[in-house]
């Protein structure tokens, strides 16, 4: 018996719907796309034309020449924690930043290492810049595992973190690095008279010409911290970080700024599973491989008290607390959020994420591209929450 045409059409439509449903269930990204699809399809503001930031800007002049008698440079440095074996990656990052910015302003470079720098490292880095370079050794008391950390507990904690597939969990040097970047670097004697720093890591890229003194911008416009990329962290790496923060805040409620970014830190709507698994923390953080900051904030009593509380809690070793969430939580709580600046005009990449503005001063990156990795990585972008709660200043 022939089947009526409308019935055949209905059956075909039902089959197509069923196939699409099965594909959604079985495809690697199906669940994520169904659950979090709104995370990946917002319009990136970097697609809009980008100019220089508003406010007072200081241009290059002969007073920025190397060794200038009346130097216009303020007490600031380009700063890198780097090993001798990372030389090639460091040279690449230096060349990018010298080409796009520092050849005009000649701010000094300060390199830190937990072992002495090799002569090859010194020779080849000196060849990349006309600016002064300082090579500094980290004091053992700033780098080594502190005495109150229990080695057996640390070993067991590493096993648990590895079971949760937390990257670098088994590398003691990574834990040490996170602790040093969180609360030790600004205590180094070589930085005693330095206020501002621009952190640079090996193998990063800079894409855009910047024609103003970035440090003077921070100083003259009353900015404390600058970032380019804003991400979610892995909740399993920082399970007790927010509970410890809440303990600290219960003892020191006076440290929370009236114009804090608390809502950014505790948002439950965008990625509720993250907030739940991190026990109340959204896990949003400034990706600190790029940060331009005023060390007076880290030297403040509020931050020192906070870091010491966290340090004694042991999470830098028993978990994998990173300097990015630690810095971000502190800034989000203790600083006026209007003093935190998105450097949207500085094109930047640290694999696999970009900040690529729409500007004729930029080349080598794709405008508005957040990642060149797997599509699901777009979900890691927390800038929309920052823009929602704080703005784009």
Cα(301)–Cα(308) distance, integer angstroms: 10
Annotated catalytic residue, options 98, 244, 291, 319: 291
Residues found in the chain: 393
Q: What is the distance between the alpha carbons of residues 209 and 100, in angstroms, rounded to a whole number?
A: 4
User: DSSP characters for 130-155?
Assistant: SS-EEEEEPPHHHHSPPTTS-HHHHH
Give the torsion through C-alpha atoms of 117, 121, 122, 126, to 10 deg. -150
Matching residue, tokens 């937390």: 166
Contacts of 291 (CB under 8 A, 6+ apart): 198, 199, 225, 226, 227, 327
Tokens standing for 238?
């920082």
Q: What is the largest CA-CA distance in the chain?
A: 99
79, 98, 31: which is closest to 376 by C-alpha?
Answer: 31
Q: Any residues with CB less than 8 A from the CB of 8 and at least 6 apart, and which?
A: none
Beta strand pairing call for 230-232 and 205-206: unpaired
Spatial separation of the C-alpha atoms in residues 254 and 4, rounded to whole Å: 76
291 among known catalytic residues:
yes
* Residues with a known catalytic role: 291
């Amino acid at each position: 018996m022939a089947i009526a045409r409308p019935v055949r059409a209905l059956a075909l439509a039902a089959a197509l719907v069923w196939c699409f449903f099965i594909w959604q269930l079985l495809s690697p990204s199906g669940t994520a796309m169904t659950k979090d699809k709104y995370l990946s399809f917002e319009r990136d503001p970097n697609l809009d034309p980008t100019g220089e930031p508003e406010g007072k800007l200081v241009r290059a002049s002969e007073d920025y020449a190397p060794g200038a008698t009346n130097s216009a440079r303020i007490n600031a440095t380009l700063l890198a924690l780097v090993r001798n074996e990372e030389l090639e990656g460091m040279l690449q990052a230096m060349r990018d930043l010298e080409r796009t910015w520092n050849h005009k302003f000649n701010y000094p470079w300060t390199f830190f290492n937990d072992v002495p720098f090799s002569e090859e490292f010194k020779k080849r880095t000196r060849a990349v810049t006309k600016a002064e370079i300082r090579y500094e050794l980290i004091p053992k008391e700033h780098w080594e595992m502190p005495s109150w950390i229990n080695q057996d507990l640390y070993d067991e904690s590493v096993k648990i973190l590895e079971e949760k597939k937390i990257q670098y969990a088994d590398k003691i040097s990574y834990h040490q690095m996170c602790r040093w970047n969180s609360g030790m670097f600004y205590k180094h004697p070589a930085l005693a008279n330095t206020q501002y720093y621009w952190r640079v890591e090996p193998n990063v890229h800079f894409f855009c010409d910047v024609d103003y003194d970035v440090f003077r911008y921070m100083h003259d416009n009353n900015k404390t911290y600058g970032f380019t990329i804003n991400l979610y962290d892995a909740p399993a790496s920082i399970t007790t970080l927010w509970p410890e923060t809440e303990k600290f805040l219960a003892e020191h409620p006076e440290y929370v700024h009236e114009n804090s970014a608390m809502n950014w830190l505790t948002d439950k709507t965008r990625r509720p599973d993250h907030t739940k698994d991190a026990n109340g923390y959204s896990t949003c953080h400034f990706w600190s491989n790029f940060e331009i900051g005023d060390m007076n904030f880290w030297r403040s009593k509020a931050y020192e008290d906070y870091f010491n509380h966290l340090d004694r809690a042991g999470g830098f070793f028993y978990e994998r607390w990173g300097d990015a969430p630690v810095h971000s939580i502190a800034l989000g709580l203790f600083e006026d959020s209007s003093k935190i600046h998105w450097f949207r005009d500085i094109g930047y990449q640290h694999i696999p994420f970009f900040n690529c503005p729409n500007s004729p001063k930029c080349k080598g990156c794709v405008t508005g591209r957040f990642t060149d990795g797997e599509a699901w990585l777009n979900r890691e972008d927390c800038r929309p929450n920052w823009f929602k709660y704080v703005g784009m200043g």
